[in-house]
Structures are given as C-alpha cells and as structure tokens.
C-alpha cells in the first residue's frame, strides 16, 4: 500500500475507477457518493432501524462511547473466541439484518453493484473457507461518537482469509444525520505494526494522541443520503452529535481489495 508523506489533496472526490484505486493506495483521503439514496429511501431505512431498536434487535459494543449496532463485527471475536463462535454470531446477525432490510431496501447490494460498474472488478461478500460468508452491512446508531481506532484485516485478523487483502476501505451510508457534530476525522498515519506469533493482535481501539502526532488530518460531515468511503487503515474517530440534534444512523462495512482487483466486503 502506498504511504505518501502527504495526500495529493484534502478534497472529497467523486467515485471513479481512478479515485477508488487512489483511496485504496492512500493517495487521497475521502470519496463521497452524493445522493446515493433519496430522502424517501433514507426515511424508510431509518424507520426500519427504529423498528429494530423497538424490537430489541439492536445491541451495543463493549466500548465507550456507547454505539448501538444491528449485525455483528468480526473484530469483536479476535480475542478469546473460537472461529466457530464468530460464525454462530454471523448466523444470528444475518437473521436480524434480514428482518430489518426486509422492511425497506438493501443499500449494500446497491453499493456492491456500483463498485462493480465503476471498477470493472467483482465486489462480493467475503467468505471463510469451511465456514461460509462473513457478516457484512452493519447498521449503527453512533450519535455519541466513536473512539479513535484503525481497521486493517491483515493485522486485526491475520488468520482469516480476509487477511489476503492489500488495501481496506470503510464505507457508510447515512440515513439520518445530526444537525451538528457526528464528524469523522481521518489521520494520515497508516497502521503498521507486526503481530507477534502466538500473541493477541495489537489493540487497535482507543488509540491515544501519540499514534497521530504530526499527521495531516481531514474531517468530513455526514450528509443524509450520501455514502462516504475512506481508507480504514488510517486512525479515525467520530465526534458526538450536538445535543438535541438528529441521530447518526448509518449502514456500512469494510471493502478489501484482493490481489488482482476484486473486492470483498465484511463488517
């Protein structure tokens, strides 16, 4: 992966084959797909999320600030869990996810189709040999912010097939946005640590200022109906929404680039 001293610019770029590659290579900070979903589609999806909350489908991460989610995150199973335990959670996650999406529409399928059309490469849900598909398309309520962290499968999850990727992005569709706050800040300091054999993978959540000291940074605001993509190997955090504003409701996943250019998605 390219690790330039600086990004080419600090702009938000439209999605093209060239900007997708540049984002994977960490040459630019942000790609935004404006008006990916209509106002009616966003309201419909937000209502489906609320149905999930009302029916106790939403759970909460073991981190602060409190972040609600529907689905499951693979990284939550990297310590102290057998692989089978993750795939038991995957089965339940897909069941919950389909209950929500059945009430509305499927942004993840639209995103994968968009990636195929733009790149000329396949985009599909990641699979683990002998186990099947990973979960992808996590739905989140992140109105209280998200702590600084990094996401990069070759370091987070070196013993899964997704570790074969050579670049990783995160994407989110915002179906409801706070009037103020909820801003994502990305620091150009790609995570580059070497996991020690036989030891837990390094902690990648709650990173302190020493991890980003001197790095250039870019921030972007959520806009209802937009999809934003960024390189998740860079440390990033989300500020809390302003009190009394709307919720930060979103759906997204990671996009890993395999050698050859095809892409796999998981959460």
- Taking residues 113-130, report their average pLDDT: 98
pTM of the model: 0.91
pLDDT band, very low/low/confident/very high, at 68 (cuts 50, 70, 90): confident
CA dist 80 → 75, 85, 162, 199 (Å) = 11, 10, 19, 11
| For range 153-168, the mean pLDDT | 92
223-228 mean pLDDT: 97
Q: Mean pLDDT in the chain?
A: 90
Question: Does position 55 have pLDDT exceeding 60, yes or no?
Answer: yes
In three state form, how does the secondary structure of 24-83 look?
HCCCCCEEEECCCCCHHHHHHHHHHHHHHHHCCCCEECCCCCCCEEECCCHHHHCCCCCH
Judged against a pLDDT cut of 80, whether residue 147 lies above it is answered with yes
Report the pLDDT value the prediction gives residue 134, as an integer from 0 to 100.
97
Q: What is the reported pLDDT for 3?
A: 46
201 vs 118, residue with greater confidence? 118
- At 209, the pLDDT band (50, 70, 90 cuts) reads confident
What is the pLDDT at residue 100? Answer: 97
The better pLDDT of the pair 64, 37 is held by: 37
pLDDT at 199 over 90: no
Higher pLDDT, 2 or 97: 97
Q: Who's near 122: CB < 8 A, 6+ residues apart? A: 116, 262, 263
Average pLDDT of the segment spanning 81-95: 92
Mean pLDDT of all residues in 116-126: 98
pLDDT of residue 198: 55
Domains identified in the chain and CATH numbers = 12-266 (2.60.120.620)
């Amino acid at each position: 992966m390219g690790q330039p001293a600086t990004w080419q610019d600090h702009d938000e770029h439209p999605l093209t084959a060239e900007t997708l590659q540049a984002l994977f290579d960490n040459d630019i900070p942000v790609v935004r797909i404006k008006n990916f979903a209509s106002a009616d589609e966003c309201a419909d999806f937000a209502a489906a999320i609320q149905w999930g909350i009302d029916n106790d489908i939403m759970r909460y991460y073991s981190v602060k600030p409190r972040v609600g989610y529907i689905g499951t995150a693979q990284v939550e199973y990297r310590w102290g869990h057998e692989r089978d335990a993750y795939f038991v959670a995957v089965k339940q996650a897909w069941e919950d996810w389909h209950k929500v999406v059945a009430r509305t529409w499927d942004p993840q399928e639209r995103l994968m189709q968009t990636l195929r059309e733009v790149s000329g490469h396949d985009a599909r849900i990641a699979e683990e040999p002998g186990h099947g598909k990973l979960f992808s398309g996590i739905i989140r309520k992140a109105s209280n912010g998200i702590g600084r962290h990094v996401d990069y499968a070759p370091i987070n999850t070196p013993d899964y097939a997704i570790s074969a990727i050579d670049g990783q992005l995160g994407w989110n569709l915002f179906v409801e946005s706070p009037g103020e706050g909820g801003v994502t800040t990305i620091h150009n300091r790609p995570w580059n640590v070497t996991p020690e054999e036989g030891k837990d993978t390094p902690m990648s959540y709650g990173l302190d200022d020493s991890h980003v000291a001197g790095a250039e940074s870019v921030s972007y605001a959520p806009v209802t109906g937009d999809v934003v993509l960024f390189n998740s190997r860079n440390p990033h955090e989300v500020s809390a929404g302003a009190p009394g504003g709307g919720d930060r409701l979103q759906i997204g996943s990671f996009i890993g680039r395999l050698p050859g250019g095809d892409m796999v998605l998981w959460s």
